[in-house]
Amino acid sequence: MPTPHATFETIGPLATLTFNRPEVRNAMTWEMYQALFDACEAVDASEEIRTLILKGAGGEAFVSGTDIAQFQEFDSPGDGIAYERRLDEVMDRLERVAKPTIAQIEGVATGGGCAIALACDLRYCTPESRFGMPIARTLGNCLSAANHARLVDLVGPARVKELIFTGRLIDAAEAASLGLVNRVIDGSRLGQSVRETAAAIAENAPLTIMATKEIVRRIQASRRLDPDDARDLIELCYTSEDFAEGVAAFLAKRPPKWKGK
């Protein structure tokens, strides 16, 4: 399970998965997504682990998203569907971990990084943190129905539309006011505060925590679309000329030229 870019460690009842590509703001590779899935499996398989903390290395990013270079491999209509389906599998596995999960956020949590944070139970960040799904101004792709649903659950439909339509990032203060994060903590105290919270949770009744988490998950899941209900829209975006242009422009570090095709 451990990789150079995703390290997993346990100290007593606390497990920590660190996304470790600080040179690219912890952009996720396929291998890193698999490491996240495997960490969830390891946590549920252990009787000793009571909480899982996710964090990014380097202090500048939790996770800045998926490594865009990997999208150059897409060459068929099914590639975008397969990618979003794989992300859904990983996020669903994270959401279903029987133990509480905590996102410890320094710097940006955007795109896939924001999706990972949304799938955690609790989110704590620094005043410098920023959040968003800037796909409308970067790649021209489309989030899965499940990732839309998680965002709607936290901030409401009007805010989701505004954030995605504009592609803007929100700062920590706005994220807290919207309920996107539980608390904003000074960077010098973030790690210690998260560990203290995780340790306090670990001392409480595990069955009560598990039952509460699962009841809330089932309530949320009952309101979600079947993944295939959004397939046509996801495929439309990922097979478009605009998506190919978005990827090329991102890698070339230039503004994309959208055609709506």
Domains of the chain plus CATH, in order, are 6-190 (3.90.226.10)
* Paired sense of beta strands 61-63 and 108-110, if any: parallel
Pick from 108, 105, 138, 106: which is nearest to 122 by CA?
Answer: 105
Strands of 101-105's sheet, edge to edge? Answer: 6-11, 14-19, 51-56, 101-105, 122-125, 183-184
Kindly write down the DSSP assignment for every residue of 72-133, as one continuous string: GG--SHHHHHHHHHHHHHHHHHHHT-SS-EEEEE-SEEETHHHHHHHHSSEEEE-TT-EEE-
Confidence class of residue 78 from pLDDT cuts 50, 70 and 90?
A: confident
Report pLDDT for 69. Answer: 87
Give the model confidence (pLDDT) of 36-75 as tens digits: 999 999 999 999 999 999 999 999 999 999 998 888 887 7
| CA–CA dist 15, 4 (Å, integer) | 17
Give the model confidence (pLDDT) of 192-240 as tens digits: 999 999 999 999 999 999 999 999 999 999 988 888 888 899 889 988 9
- Cβ atoms of residues 49 and 8 within 8 Å: no
| CA–CA dist 35, 49 (Å, integer) | 17
- Cβ atoms of residues 71 and 90 within 8 Å: no
Confidence class of residue 170 from pLDDT cuts 50, 70 and 90?
A: very high
- Cβ atoms of residues 145 and 81 within 8 Å: no
Give the model confidence (pLDDT) of 172-189 as tens digits: 999 999 999 999 999 999
Report pLDDT for 185. Answer: 98
Can you read off the two tokens belonging to residue 115?
């999706």
Q: What percent of the chain has pLDDT over 70?
A: 99
Report pLDDT for 77. Answer: 66
In this structure, how many other beta carbons lie within 10 angstroms of the beta carbon of residue 101?
A: 26
Give the model confidence (pLDDT) of 2-13 as tens digits: 688 999 999 999
| CA–CA dist 120, 43 (Å, integer) | 14
| CA–CA dist 1, 256 (Å, integer) | 37
